[in-house]
Structure 1
């Protein structure tokens, strides 16, 4: 039994995800949080008997513009994430520096339930949370949260006051 694109659209509607149809087998959506955003591609293959959900380059051209040493560090990071993860695999194409997380799900004798689809989509969408860690691995300066900057500033002022008390 296969799944249809209309079923996937129904699931996305129930999950309140905005999406757009790219063609008769592909939907585009995205995920965003305070750490960044990623585009998500949902594709039916093999006449609906294989579902693929993947992101498109998490870090745009940062990997391409990085040094070989930093790219190697990112590959090690991705391999370790694969080791730690039950669902989803980090993939990398050295020919064009494409890097993404992907889930492939064969649908042979059944259907994909909303719960299964939600788990897959959440795994892919939560990869936004890893963007700062990926940037740090690439040696890219990560923006610090304004609240954290203020906290550090206040601690520095407190330390300066403590040092100037003369007691």
Structure 2
């Protein structure tokens, strides 16, 4: 629920949520859609890839909705697929990939629009240890470049890498640790 509210997918039932100084509850559906498309990248636990599309087309989807020309969409999709180490899988459909590879496609898609905020729900959950570490290194680089990353994890080793850890139990903040 918290990730859905922060990602402008759901509205809070109590209190105010300000994004860019604006109360999200006062934004129209169209404004919320623009925020999601241009400012927020999502890595869902279930990937949400379109099986009929090749992986590069899946990565291009957010850019299609922004109205970018095909050539620009393709170039940016290839750049993000290289970033997550999948340039050798271009031309394949999601069903032809392992779960870990599908997760990396989902990460590339989340990053393709160069969002200000990346929301990642267990982004390394389906990856082997080495690939998971390389994805976390990518996240570290993006954070150093100014991207805000909200990451949900149950893996203490991943939490230890974060600058701030908010521990939530039964829907309540249990602890807020800043390193």
| More strand, by proportion | 1
- Structure number with the bigger relative contact order (C-alpha 8 A, sep ≥ 6) is 1
| More helix, by proportion | 2
| TM-score where L is the length of structure 1 | 0.26
